[in-house]
Amino acid sequence: MSRFFISSLFILFAVSVYGQNSPINLNKKDTVTYKQPYGIRVGIDLSRPLISFLEDNYTGLEFVGDYRLTQDLYLAGELGNEKKSIGVRLGIDEKSVDGELYNFTASGSYIKLGIDYNTYGNWYGEQNMIYVGGRYAFSTFSQTLNNYKIFNTDRYWSPDDFTPGTEQLGEFSGLNASWLEFVVGIKAEIVKNLYFGASARLGFLVTNKNPENFRNLFIPGFNKVTDGSRFGVGYNYSISYLIPLYKKAKTASKETVPAPQPEPNIPEEQK
């Protein structure tokens, strides 16, 4: 019994001596591990159904989505359909169909694929985005010329109006266009896994197949086409939901307050 008691005292003494001789690391880093969700985020653009409800000459629907590849890089895309009727008027005061020089309807679908890069540094637990990105877009559509009038300065046969045209009326199908898009936008988590997004887009038209004896003035997904310019602008406001597929751990180090440095030993006569 006495041998066991003496051995125990010897072990406790050795441990206490080792602990006193071991240096204390006051600059030890505290590590925090947080597992971030990776998955597919899918949603819908809110602006197109709203415009469809407010305007009789437009119907549209667009689905949005992205897939997280790395901490800040996302594979993103949009898929949609638009139909819009546009009339070009003879004068700013004319508000009836009879006052239009011509009226046409563009209808078709489009797809946009690209990447988004998140420039926002989230706190742990946040999944918000302020991003820049790019898309390659492709649209297939048709143009239907509903009516038009022949512009003629000789008003002898039609003193009150231009002569209505009939030869070119009808649908021009099999049209397509492609363009590049530069995108800037935000996505903010309003409740868990539910995001509100907004983006602005600048498109540059790469290819544009025009119908015979007519031209594309509106391309689904691209918006209006103007004379002498290949640029177009667009926007969207989306609501989307994140479907988590797996999680990846990200470890961040948070340094503690450094240990105070000892004051220099100044002789009493110099103080």
pLDDT in tens, 203-245: 999 999 988 777 888 999 999 998 888 999 999 999 999 999 9
Q: Report if residue 186 sits inside a domain.
A: yes
Contacts of 236 (CB under 8 A, 6+ apart): 45, 46, 47, 48, 62, 64, 78, 197, 198, 199, 201
Q: Report if residue 247 sits inside a domain.
A: yes
pLDDT for the residue 255: 42
Q: Report if residue 112 sits inside a domain.
A: yes
Residue 130: which CATH number?
A: 2.40.160.20
Domain of residue 189 covers: 37-252
What is the domain count for the chain?
1
Q: Report if residue 2 sits inside a domain.
A: no
Round to whole Å and give the CA distance between 147 and 56: 18
Cα Rg for the chain, rounded, in angstroms?
34
Q: Report if residue 257 sits inside a domain.
A: no
> Can you state the percent helix, strand and coil of the chain, rounding each to 5?
15, 55, 30
Q: 244-268, pLDDT tens digit by residue?
A: 999 887 755 444 344 455 565 655 6
Q: Report if residue 14 sits inside a domain.
A: no
Element (H, E) at 54: helix 47-54
Closest C-alpha among 81, 94, 84, 88 to residue 57:
84
The answer to whether residue 100 scores a pLDDT higher than 50 is: yes
Taking residues 65-84, report their average pLDDT: 96
Q: How many residues does the chain have?
A: 271
The answer to whether residue 92 scores a pLDDT higher than 50 is: no
pTM over 0.85: no
Q: Report if residue 116 sits inside a domain.
A: yes
Round to whole Å and give the CA distance between 133 and 135: 7
Q: Report if residue 178 sits inside a domain.
A: yes
